[in-house]
A and B are shown apart, each in its own frame.
Chain A
Amino acid sequence: MKPALFLVALIALVALLVPPLLPYDHISIDWDSVRVGLFSDGHLLGTDDLGRDRLARLLVGTRVTLSVALAAALVALVIGVAWGAIAGWVGGRVDEAMMRIVDGLYALPFMFVVILLMVVFGRSILLVFLGIGFVEWLTMARVVRGQVIALKQRPFILAAEAAGSPARATLWRHILPNVAGVAVAYLMLTVPHVVMIESFLSFLGLGVQEPLTSLGILVNEGAEEMDMNPAALLLPGGVLVLLIASLTVAGERFRDRLADAAK
């Protein structure tokens, strides 16, 4: 888990701290050097068709992708945990109704929902957050609900009732702390998934809009010129693969460690 997390942190730090230090930002056009190659003067990774610095764009794109992923995963965490915990804790008809809503939302085609959101509210990065969080919380709610139901039957919950602990206190002090590990482990597996969805949407032109950029857009642009300039595809693609792989590994390790600790 540690090396993977370290890699994620490194990528995030570089994406966050390095852009202000560069001589060019990701938008301005350098008219003197349009479409120059790798290691040109002043442009370490060259420039694109419009003369924008590729390094600046790669770093900003990484930053955007990461923040979309984090925000969407947090939306998923908050809604999913609240929804799942309430459904599992209250049980009975309430549980039944809440979970049927989740099932219904599952049945909606995700792309359709996002396109609809875009059409109705116009394109904005906020909607990308919301749209993705909207899909991811469903699974989180199911995971948390299952955990809560399993925990609710453990005798220590009954012992808490005998100890006079009010239901709300039991939920806060016994149930949620015991769900937290599983929720965090699942969250860590959600982030790479969200990164992928964001890149996919941006690749299709539905996500982040120019001149802002993301890893998905960069991959899309790179794909168009890969016969002449493979680095334009391989660099953002490589960062994306590294991010997703290390996040997934970190998430799985964390989940395994929880499972061991539970034994």
Chain B
Amino acid sequence: MSEGYAVRNLGVRIGDQLIVDDVSFTLAPGEVFALAGASGAGKSMSAMTPFGLSAGVASGSAMLDGIELVGLSEHELSRIRAEKIGFVFQQPLTALTPHRTVRQHLQEAAMQAGGAKPDKAAMVVMLEAVGLSRPDERLAQYPHRLSGGERQRVLIAAALAHGPRYLVADEPVSALDAALRGEIMALLVRLCRERGMAMLLVSHDLAGIEHHADRLLLLESGRVAEAGPAPQIATLPATDYGKRLMAATPRLTEPLPSLPETGEVLLEVEAAHIHFPKPGWRRGRIDAVVDASLTLAKGETLALVGGSGSGKSTLGRAIAGLGPMASGIVRWQGETLPPRQRRNAGHRRLIQPVFQDPLASLDPRWNVADIILEPVRWLVPEDDQHERAKDLLEEVGLPRDFASRKPASLSGGQAQRVAIARALSADPEMLLLDEATSALDPLVADGVVALFGRLQRERGLSLLFITHDLALARRAAHRIAVMEAGRIVECAAREELFANPQAEATRRLIAASG
């Protein structure tokens, strides 16, 4: 019986559609193998279908330790999964059952292949192995008490509880904060090395896996684009697709691209404080933003970088008059902008937002032309609106006949371009980009970032670029402000920030992004 996992000519169908075609790879014991590619390339389908964990039907061959998986019944597959394989999924919250404690999760996981019920000491060891602090307290906790990173550690502990020989990790860090991604990925790889486990890793983030995977397979629309040692493919891809994917993934090591000249200062924010009442009946408040000051010049891009919960979106929305601000001053060319409720059309026109989730930011019942023209209706009344909607579609790189479409018929990237066209229709001076590319596929996101650059050059726009991705900020922004726990801890030109980081938070972010 041969050890290892060998996939040969794997095909996956859903209905009549061939999702994955002719994919082959092998996974030796103790190896970390990554399946990468843009979304819809069939990465997860290739990884999950042989184990019976997708809607697809597999053809070809997938041999696990000498057992052919393709064609096995659900019952037999379930036994093999329980005995040999641990799974780690993307969404750490939904992958844990809310009403069960960490202890119950670990017990269930350990006993799935008929193992003995683990005692407390054994479970503490499991949690220590995944680097969870205070493991004995954690056992009694429910998932909602844990942070995203902690949940993912519990999931990993549960995936390993029955001592599997293989680990299948489907985008294990994509839902986590940037600062945590490298750490969790390193943990997974270390656990594999220590235990001689093999890991099949699925990821869209090439920069995130190039240092962790041994070998890499790039998928393009369900077919193998190229395969080989991970560092080689990640740095010197042979195919055009690989090159595009590489170029679309920002890295701290890449040369700094040039950015347009900037003009005089437009926006000044002074000592902004924002707080919210605590939820429920408790008294007290949560300080979301504390004493934040920043400036933005004409034609300049300022990136606001920080982990989730650092207050960067809250600050951005307050500046645009879309959220509360307790105290502080927002000035536009020296003139103070009034608070949210008293901003008039003239104020609103200046700063237009683009949000993270492109489909949720378009009213599903409106057509594209109406969506694009909404600001025109209230802010800059004029004639011949329909032509204007089509001109804007063209400006953001969409066909003119998209005007009559409904949002549901758009892809994520197209929907985001429509949202950008809507922002442009107000003829703004500044765009607030609130994680505007982080919900998009790397190739699509790269196109949208390039669009922002072009719009900035052509229209002289100022951009407030809110992101968790430091490498992206380095690529796109003149200056970078780092936020942590509601404070702007450092703000500097990009060259300076990386050459000479001042704040502890900045150094940590740089380390995590490298």
B-binding residues in A (CB < 8 A): 154-156, 158-166, 169, 174, 177-178, 261-262
5 contacts between A and B (CB under 8 A): A156-B361, A156-B363, A158-B353, A178-B363, A178-B365
Say whether chain B's binding surface is mostly helix, strand, loop, or mixed.
mixed
Establish whether residues A178 and B364, one from each chain, have CB atoms under 8 Å apart when the complex forms. yes
Encoded as 1 (CB less than 8 Å from any A CB) or 0, chain B from 351 to 370 comes to 11101110011111100000
Establish whether residues A154 and B361, one from each chain, have CB atoms under 8 Å apart when the complex forms. yes
On chain A, the residues within 8 Å of B426 by CB distance are 162-164
B318 to chain A, nearest CB (A): 12
Establish whether residues B422 and A155, one from each chain, have CB atoms under 8 Å apart when the complex forms. no
| Known contacts A158-B322, A159-B355: A165-B364 contact under CB 8 Å | no
| Known contacts A163-B374, A163-B379: A158-B355 contact under CB 8 Å | yes
- A155, A158, A177, A262, most chain B CB atoms within 10 A: A155
B274 to chain A, nearest CB (A): 16
| Known contacts A177-B365, A178-B365: A162-B375 contact under CB 8 Å | yes
Q: Which of A158, A162, A262 contacts B348 (CB 8 A)?
A: A162
B378 at the interface (CB under 8 A from A): yes
B441 to chain A, nearest CB (A): 19
| Known contacts A154-B361, A158-B355: A165-B322 contact under CB 8 Å | no
B53 at the interface (CB under 8 A from A): no
How many of chain B's residues have a CB under 8 angstroms from any CB in A? Answer: 29
On chain B, the residues within 8 Å of A165 by CB distance are 374, 377-378
**C-alpha spacing A62/B349, complex, angstroms:** 58
B271 at the interface (CB under 8 A from A): no
On chain B, the residues within 8 Å of A160 by CB distance are 363, 374
Establish whether residues B375 and A164, one from each chain, have CB atoms under 8 Å apart when the complex forms. yes
| Known contacts A162-B322, A164-B379, A178-B365: A154-B360 contact under CB 8 Å | yes
B419 at the interface (CB under 8 A from A): yes
Q: Which of A162, A166, A174 contacts B363 (CB 8 A)?
A: A174
Q: Identify the closest chain A residue to B374 (Cβ).
A: A163
**C-alpha spacing A166/B419, complex, angstroms:** 19
| Known contacts A177-B365, A178-B365: A163-B360 contact under CB 8 Å | no
A251 to chain B, nearest CB (A): 21
B108 to chain A, nearest CB (A): 31
B window 327-374: CB within 8 A of A:
345, 348-349, 351-353, 355-357, 360-365, 374
**C-alpha spacing A118/B322, complex, angstroms:** 51
B320 at the interface (CB under 8 A from A): yes
Establish whether residues B378 and A163, one from each chain, have CB atoms under 8 Å apart when the complex forms. yes
Q: Which of B345, B377, B422 contacts A159 (CB 8 A)?
A: B422
Establish whether residues B361 and A163, one from each chain, have CB atoms under 8 Å apart when the complex forms. no
**C-alpha spacing A160/B361, complex, angstroms:** 9
